Amino acid sequence: MRGLALVLTTFLLMALLSPLLHDADIARYVPDIALVACLYIGLTTSLEKAIALALVIGLLEDGFTTGQTVGLGMEIAVLSVLASHRLSRRLVLRGPVGAMFLAFSTSLATSLVELVLSLVFVRNFTEGASGPLVVLQSMLPQALVTAPFGAIVFWLFDRLDALTSRKNESVFM
């Protein structure tokens, strides 16, 4: 029940955010809601369930992004869940600043992973206008746009968790 609620909320956030940013003519840098959702899931869920949820969220992200290699979103989602699950054993995350820093740093890291995977698996990635330079130039603005949504999504998912399962624990204070 909790996993379904998290996936549906992530889908709704991605579905609502995309047309709103397009209408406001600021769709160049879109916050990576799927990444932030995978970070939260990795921090609060067992590893097996977190990977399964990350695969579903990554599949949804692949459906929302056009012109991207199919499966890249799923792989990045699983890698971010694995990293955040590993961090959950060593890091106590409390408050909005921690969530924003985690979203910022992970967004930078996933941009680098996307660059490396695209260089390896996409044949004509280095040709034309959609090469490595575009990914490198958009890395910092993408992370800066994603960071505030880290706090928002963590807060929203914490409230959703309070409704679905956990009663006394809180990741976001």
Of 43-47, 53-57, 93-97, 158-162, the range with the lowest mean pLDDT is 93-97
Closest C-alpha to 82, from 47, 127, 33: 47
| Section 65-89 average pLDDT | 88
Least confident residue range of 63-67, 95-99, 132-136? 63-67
Does position 68 have pLDDT exceeding 80, yes or no? no
Note if the pTM is more than 0.95.
no
Decide: 145 and 29 in contact? Cβ < 8 Å: yes
Residue pair 77/40 in contact by the 8 Å Cβ criterion: no
Question: Span 79-92, mean pLDDT?
Answer: 89
Contacts of 78 (CB under 8 A, 6+ apart): 51, 54, 55, 58
Q: Is residue 172 part of a domain?
A: no
Place of tokens 């709103």: 20
Query: In whole angstroms, how far apart are CA 140 and each of 57, 114, 158?
Result: 23, 14, 27
In whole numbers, what is the pLDDT of the chain averaged over residues? Answer: 87
pLDDT of residue 69: 77
Nearest CA among 89, 90, 3 for reference residue 38 = 3
Confidence check: pLDDT of 165 > 90: no
Q: Check residue 97 and give its pLDDT.
A: 92
Residue 125 sits in a domain whose CATH number is 1.10.1760
**Residue 118 domain-assigned (yes or no):** yes
User: Quick check: is 134 in a domain?
Assistant: yes
- Number of separate domains in the chain: 1
pLDDT at 70: 81
- The CA-atom distances, in angstroms, between 101 and each of 34, 105, 128 are 16, 6, 33
d(CA 141, CA 42): 24
Q: Within a domain: residue 173?
A: no
Lowest-confidence region among 48-52, 78-82, 85-89: 85-89
Does residue 124 contact residue 74 with C-beta atoms inside 8 Å? no
Q: Does some domain include residue 58?
A: yes
For residue 31, what are the domain limits? 2-164
pLDDT at position 120 is 87
170 domain-assigned: no
